[in-house]
């Protein structure tokens, strides 16, 4: 029986020309009635290949779901560029996991005579449909739904057996080679629905920001020929809309009239329309009805629409005439338990979090996302770049011009646009990702430009012709990871022809996103630069049980907290499921942990995106500026906060002025700044003033800050008391278990590793410097220790002078970094403390983690954080937990005893439970054993983080030059 099956005989998994068979055209009709959900348990078996005979025994599995995380032996595999199998396109391997899903469906009795459609939300990568053993259809395009008309094979009131066969590898895998986990299964919902034979085949809405509304309907009849005298009507928030009779299907002179494809139009103008934009996403409810000649309703489609325009004017992308900044992120449909299946609540939580951290744009990297994502983007306010499911990364060049794949390129782009065209949030179409540039792209672009002239399209690969080109398949120059100086140079060159918005930048792998604020300083000051999309939202760690190495699947619900997997579990990355072909931790490169816990970079981003900013203006007080595009400040509340170095923090309510977008105003200083108190910083804490769909009242929005008075260098008065050192010149101190020594090494971040810096540091021997005291000299009560730190690449001389001062010891340090060490990780002191000092309090930047090139979002103030919460649990252990601009800190026990450190100037400090070595020698966070005491680093200089794991390194100004480095600090006992 199986060998005679025509669908199997077609072998669609190795026929790129076959994109579908028996599948209905994609459309944007949204019906709410007459549906039968088919999610739930299905009979299931996983065959070793599509040709293999069915086994007698079935198990059961839940739909929607990926079988790779549902208990089968076919586990997730992660590759970036390389294909997971050796076969060249269009071929796939003989070993080809094939899931067969089967269940009975009771077709409602009142569906007799109705048109009955099966919808499969998403299946990867080839779907074959049978009903009662009869072949119904085939579909590819793993992230879009497939619909099949079952009217001829099922009957109302009867039971039918639906079989969905899903073949994992195919010709299509070669154009779904995105940088993510490979899965197999039915990852979105399945359902049946019924309509009248006379039905809406599609609805297209155009709603402009001046209030013009046009609704185009396509009408078909299951019987073929259309009946006479059908008509359409609409309803916009309760207001009746009538069909445009000028555009009359019955007009015999109109050569658009067809016997089987009806076209009707509704035109309207909405006076005083509330326009849609990402700041104020005003939506209207539109209902479109198709009527029989007697007026009864045959079909209904529901839409939430927004009135807005998108256009490109020269090198500016305009939304409603405004040049908006694109503060974007790339987002995958990802979930740490299900792999790919995401619920409405999950997506809502993603978007709510992005709103709270100042994002206003999403690129649906690298395929059309779950349909609800776009509803949520419309509702919460995001500009969306909707991307087609095309990435042929490994064999990009060959496929881009291969005519066998032509149909697939056009099909995927067209189906995306047909499904998503009515979403106001989508302002740009994308032809896909990393697939070189060829005739197949131009064909897809041609289809799209003709079908939807209202939106620009972009394709990074087309930019190969140069950002200034005008004749390629991209209306936007959308490079990835372009050096900032190149972007600025292009914008200043006079040759810019189109907007420059990076489709990917600031790679968030591990402890990263250095120089984000430098990017935005340039973007906001350089006409022609308009923003970009951070790579990426998620760390795609899959929750794995360590004992059996399997993904937990949905059973892992609740087995993680605050970014960390529960004991016995970990966040798996490439290679953790026994794959031999994989790309390791490169899959963990998001701004949130796999459970959506924010990483510190999000606080940086929130501040960079601040809608309200302040500047210090000597004569006039403080200048406030509205940095939004469309709205005033009435949705915000403010509180002034004055932090003084002496420990005081004064607060006062702020009265926010009425400012239109772009406007500034000077206000008097809210405080009489006390003459004493030392260094002084004024912060405006800005929170939401009203209940918003994405934030309750009082949610922090930003905390812009200005310095009112500079620091005063603390002086320790020398006293007559000895300092104790051992024979090696190491300080003996009751609270220290390891004396302060020189540190030039940090546990390499992913950027350090992949950017090649860590290799150089290791070659120089910085990870294992050998210390030798050269001289220990007593001068009065001070001790001066000269030491040499020898590495394979050179010797570093370090001088430490320990002077007893009032209440403690002052430590003056100096190193001469030889020219050979021209770019080290840090220059500073490291020491370790006794156990029990579990609270860090400091005056400096915080409270979250910050580094020299990622510190714009950490205001100066008085902060207190338990030591165990200072460390950020990046999936692959690495340098973490640093705090920038620390002026002084205390480490104390519950009884308030402990130590206090005062620094000569704001320094990078870190207090963790881990030595750099502990972090370097482990591969997953769960392998780390926290030490009882604290490992404390005080750095005279700390290398910026950069983004070198994929993209530019940190700027030279954030690197450490050879030569003399001096720092000084005072250690006291509390």
In the stretch 579-598, what mask flags binding to ligand GAL with x, by CB under 6 A?
-------x--x---------
In the chain, count of helices (H) and strands (E)?
12, 55
Under rule CB under 6 A, residue 639 binds ligand GAL:
no
Say which entry of Mg ion, ligand GAL, none residue 595 contacts (CB below 5 to 8 A, set by partner kind): none
Q: Which does 926 bind (CB under 5 to 8 A by kind): ligand GAL, Mg ion, none?
A: none
User: Could you say which of 504, 750, 752, 918 contacts ligand GAL (CB under 6 A)?
Assistant: 504
464 SS3 class: helix
Q: Which of 147, 179, 604, 939 binds ligand GAL (CB under 6 A)?
A: 179
Minimum distance from CB of 140 to Mg ion (Å)?
A: 19
Chain positions 922 to 961 lying near ligand GAL, rule: CB under 6 A, are 950
DSSP for 473-499, please give it: S-SSB--BS--HHHHHHHHHSS---S-
Please identify, using beta-carbon distances, which residue of 171 and 391 lies nearer to ligand GAL: 391
Q: From the list Mg ion, ligand GAL, none, which binds 151 (C-beta under 5 to 8 Å, kind-based)?
A: none
Q: Is 434 in the site for Mg ion (CB under 5 A)?
A: yes
Closest CA to 634 of 652, 651, 616, 659: 659
The Cα 112–Cα 893 span in angstroms is 76
Q: What are phi and psi of 344, to 5 degrees?
A: -55, -45
Tell the smallest beta-carbon distance from residue 373 to ligand GAL (Å).
18
Q: Which residue is nearest to Mg ion (CB)?
A: 393
| Binding partner of residue 589 among Mg ion, ligand GAL, none, CB cut-off 5 to 8 Å per kind | ligand GAL
Residue 375 binds which one of Mg ion, ligand GAL, none, with CB within 5 to 8 A depending on kind? none
- Per-residue string for binding with ligand GAL, 43-82, x by CB under 6 A? -------------------------------------x--
When the beta carbons of 61 and 365 are compared against ligand GAL, the nearer one is 365
The full DSSP string for 78-143 is EESSS-SS-PPTT---SS--EEEEEEEEE--GGGTTSEEEEEEEEEESEEEEEETTEEEEEEE-TT
Closest to Mg ion by CB, 400 vs 642, is 400
Q: How far apart are CA 405 and CA 401, in angstroms?
A: 8
Residues near ligand GAL (CB under 6 A), total: 13
Q: Does 340 bind Mg ion (CB under 5 A)?
A: no
The whole-angstrom separation of Cα 178 and Cα 535 is 14
CB count in 10 Å sphere of residue 557: 10
DSSP-assigned letters across all residues of 327-369: EEEE----BTTTBT---HHHHHHHHHHHHHTT--EEE-TTS--
Give whichever of 2 and 397 is closer to Mg ion, judged by the CB atom: 397
CB nearer to ligand GAL: give 249 or 441: 441
Name every residue whose Cβ is closer than 8 Å to that of residue 330 and which is 6 or more positions away in sequence: 362, 363, 365, 503, 504, 533, 534, 535, 536, 537
Backbone angles phi, psi at 24, to 5 degrees: -75, 155
Smallest separation, CB 513 to Mg ion (Å): 20
Place of tokens 């040709």: 51
For residue 605, the Cα-to-chain-centroid distance in whole angstroms is 12
Q: Least separation, in Å, of the C-beta of 178 and Mg ion?
A: 6
CB of 603 to ligand GAL, least distance (A): 22
Nearer to Mg ion, 505 or 967 (CB): 505
**Can you tell me which of 276, 535, 573, 874 binds ligand GAL, judged by CB under 6 A?**
535
Q: How far is the CB of 366 from Mg ion (least distance, A)?
A: 8
Helix ranges restricted to H, 389-533 = 396-400, 406-420, 439-451, 484-492, 516-525
Q: Which of 340, 393, 423, 569 binds Mg ion (CB under 5 A)?
A: 393
Please identify, among the stretches 388-396, 493-501, 755-763, 937-945, the one whose residues bind Mg ion according to the rule CB under 5 A: 388-396
Q: Which two tokens stand for residue 22?
A: 């028996």
Which CB atom, from 507 or from 606, has the smaller least distance to ligand GAL? Answer: 507
Alpha-carbon distance of 424 to 374, in angstroms, equals: 9
**Residues tagged active-site:** 434, 504
Pick from Mg ion, ligand GAL, none: which does 950 bind, CB < 5 to 8 A by kind? Answer: ligand GAL
Helix (H, G, I), strand (E, B) or coil at 178: coil
Q: Does 387 bind Mg ion (CB under 5 A)?
A: no
Near Mg ion by CB under 5 A: residue from 179, 607, 750, 767: 179
φ, ψ (nearest 5 deg) of residue 68: -65, -20
CA atoms within 13 A on the CB side of 694: 29
User: CB within 8 A of 760, min separation 6: which ones?
Assistant: 823
Q: Supply the minimum distance, in Å, between the C-beta of residue 586 and ligand GAL.
A: 6
Instruction: Give the interface size with Mg ion as a residue count (CB under 5 A).
Output: 3
Piece in contact with Mg ion (CB under 5 A), picked from 36-44, 385-393, 565-573, 700-708: 385-393
∠ CA 501-503-508, rounded to 5° = 120
Which residue(s) pair with 639 in the sheet? 653, 685
Nearer to ligand GAL, 480 or 543 (CB): 480
Please name which of 31, 22, 147, 28 lies closest in space to residue 452, comparing C-alpha atoms.
Answer: 28
Residue with Cβ nearer ligand GAL (507 or 613): 507
Footprint (CB under 6 A) of ligand GAL, residues 358-397:
366
| 480 forms part of the interface with ligand GAL (CB under 6 A) | yes
In Å, what is the CA distance from 954 to each residue of 240, 437, 565, 683?
Answer: 58, 30, 31, 28
Binding flags for ligand GAL, 97-136, as an x/- string (CB under 6 A): ----------------------------------------
Asked whether the beta carbons of 242 and 231 are under 8 A apart, the reply is no
- State which of positions 417-436 bind ligand GAL (CB under 6 A): 433-434
Tell me if 585 sits within 8 A of 592, measured CB to CB. Answer: no
Residues 243-282, mask of contacts with ligand GAL (x by CB under 6 A): ----------------------------------------
CB nearest ligand GAL: which residue?
A: 179
Closest CB to ligand GAL among 422 and 430?
430
Beta pairing, strands 457-458 & 77-79: unpaired
Least separation in angstroms between residue 572's CB and ligand GAL is: 17
Out of ligand GAL, Mg ion, none, what residue 922 binds, judged by CB under 5 to 8 A for its kind, is none
- Whose Cβ is closer to Mg ion: residue 179's or residue 309's? 179
Binding residues for Mg ion (CB under 5 A): 179, 393, 434
Binding residues for ligand GAL (CB under 6 A): 80, 178-179, 366, 433-434, 480, 504, 507, 535, 586, 589, 950
């Amino acid at each position: 029986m199986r060998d005679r099956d025509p669908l199997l005989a077609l072998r669609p998994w190795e026929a790129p020309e076959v994109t579908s068979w028996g599948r209905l055209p994609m459309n944007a009709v949204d019906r709410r009635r007459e549906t039968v959900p088919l999610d739930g348990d299905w009979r299931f078996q996983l065959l070793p290949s599509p040709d293999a005979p069915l086994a007698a025994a079935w198990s059961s599995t839940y739909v929607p779901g990926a079988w790779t995380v549902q208990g089968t032996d076919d586990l997730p595999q992660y590759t970036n560029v390389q294909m997971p199998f050796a076969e060249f396109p269009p071929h796939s391997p003989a070993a080809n996991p094939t899931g067969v899903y089967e269940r009975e469906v009771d077709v409602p009795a009142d569906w007799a005579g109705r048109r009955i459609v099966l919808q499969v939300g998403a299946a990867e990568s080839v779907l074959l449909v049978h009903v009662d053993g009869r072949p119904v259809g085939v579909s590819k395009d793993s992230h879009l739904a497939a619909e099949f008309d079952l009217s001829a094979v099922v009957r109302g009131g009867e039971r039918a057996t639906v079989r969905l066969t899903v073949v994992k590898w195919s010709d299509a895998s070669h154009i779904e080679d995105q940088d993510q986990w490979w899965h197999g299964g039915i990852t979105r919902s399945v359902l049946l629905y019924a309509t009248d034979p006379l039905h809406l085949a599609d609805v297209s809405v155009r709603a402009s920001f001046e209030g013009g509304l046009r609704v185009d309907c396509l009408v078909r009849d299951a019987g073929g020929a259309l009946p006479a005298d059908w008509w359409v009507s609409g309803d916009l928030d309760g207001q009746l809309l009538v069909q445009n009779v000028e555009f009359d299907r019955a007009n015999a002179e109109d050569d658009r009239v067809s016997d089987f494809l009806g076209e009707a139009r509704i035109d309207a103008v909405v006076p005083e329309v509330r326009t849609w934009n990402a700041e104020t996403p005003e939506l209207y409810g539109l209902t479109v009805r198709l009527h029989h000649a007697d007026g009864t309703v045959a079909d209904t489609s529901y839409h939430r629409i927004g009135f807005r325009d998108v256009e490109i004017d020269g090198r500016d992308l305009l939304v409603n005439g405004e040049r908006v900044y694109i503060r974007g992120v790339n987002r995958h449909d990802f979930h740490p338990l299900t792999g790919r299946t995401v619920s409405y609540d999950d997506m809502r939580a993603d978007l709510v979090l992005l709103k709270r951290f100042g994002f206003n744009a999403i690129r649906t990297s690298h395929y059309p996302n779950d349909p609800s994502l776009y509803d949520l983007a419309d509702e919460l306010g995001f500009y969306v770049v909707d991307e087609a499911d095309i990435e042929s990364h490994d064999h990009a060049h060959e496929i881009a011009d291969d005519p066998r794949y032509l149909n697939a390129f056009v099909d995927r782009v067209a189906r995306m646009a047909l499904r998503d065209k009515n979403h106001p949030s989508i302002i740009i179409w994308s032809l896909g990702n990393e697939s070189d540039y060829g005739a197949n792209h131009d064909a897809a672009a041609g289809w799209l430009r003709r079908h939807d002239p209202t939106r620009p399209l972009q394709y990074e690969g087309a930019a190969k012709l140069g950002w200034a080109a005008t004749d390629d398949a991209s209306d936007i120059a959308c490079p990835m990871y372009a050096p900032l100086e190149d972007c600025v140079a292009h914008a200043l060159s006079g040759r810019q022809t189109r907007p420059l918005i990076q489709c990917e930048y600031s790679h968030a792998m591990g402890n990263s996103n250095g120089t984000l604020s430098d990017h935005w300083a340039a973007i906001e000051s350089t006409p022609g630069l308009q923003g970009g999309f951070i790579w990426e939202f998620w760390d795609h760690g899959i929750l794995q049980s360590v004992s059996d190495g399997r993904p937990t699947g949905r059973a892992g619900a609740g087995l993680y907290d605050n970014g960390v997997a529960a004991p016995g579990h970990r966040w798996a990355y490439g290679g953790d499921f026994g794959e031999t072909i994989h790309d390791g931790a490169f899959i963990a490169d998001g701004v949130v942990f796999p459970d959506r816990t924010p990483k510190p970079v999000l606080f940086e981003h929130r501040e960079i995106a601040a809608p309200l900013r302040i500047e210090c203006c000597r004569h006039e007080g403080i200048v406030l500026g509205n940095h939004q595009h469309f709205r005033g400040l009435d949705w915000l509340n403010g509180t002034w906060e004055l932090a003084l170095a002496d420990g005081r923090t004064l607060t006062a309510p702020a009265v926010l002025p009425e400012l239109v977008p772009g406007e500034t105003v000077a206000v008097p200083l809210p405080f009489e700044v006390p003459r004493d108190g030392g260094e002084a910083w004024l912060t405006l804490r800005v929170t939401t003033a009203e209940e918003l769909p994405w934030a309750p009242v009082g949610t922090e929005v930003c905390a812009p800050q200005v310095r009112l008075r500079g620091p005063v260098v603390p002086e320790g008065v020398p006293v007559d008391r000895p300092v104790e050192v051992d024979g090696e010149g190491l300080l003996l101190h009751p609270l220290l278990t390891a004396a302060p020594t020189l540190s030039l090494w940090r546990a390499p971040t992913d950027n350090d590793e992949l950017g090649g810096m860590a290799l150089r540091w290791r070659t120089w021997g910085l990870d294992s410097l050998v210390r030798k005291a050269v001289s220990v000299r007593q001068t009065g009560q001070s001790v001066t220790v000269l030491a040499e730190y020898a590495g394979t690449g050179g010797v570093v001389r370090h001088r430490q002078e320990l002077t007893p001062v009032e209440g403690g010891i002052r430590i003056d340090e100096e190193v001469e970094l030889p020219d050979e060490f021209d770019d080290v990780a840090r220059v500073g002191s490291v020491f370790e403390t006794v156990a029990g000092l579990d609270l860090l309090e400091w005056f400096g930047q915080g409270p979250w983690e910050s580094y020299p090139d990622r510190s714009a979002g950490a205001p100066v103030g008085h902060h207190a954080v338990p030591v165990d919460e200072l460390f950020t649990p990046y999936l692959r252990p690495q340098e973490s937990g640093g705090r920038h601009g620390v002026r002084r800190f205390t480490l104390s026990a519950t009884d308030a005893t402990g130590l206090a450190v005062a620094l000569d100037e704001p320094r990078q400090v870190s207090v963790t439970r881990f030595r750099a070595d502990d972090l370097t020698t482990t591969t997953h966070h769960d392998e780390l054993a926290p030490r009882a005491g604290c490992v404390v680093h005080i750095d005279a200089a700390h290398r910026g983080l950069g983004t070198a794991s994929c993209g530019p390194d940190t700027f030279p100004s954030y690197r450490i030059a050879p030569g003399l480095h001096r720092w000084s600090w005072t250690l006291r006992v509390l």
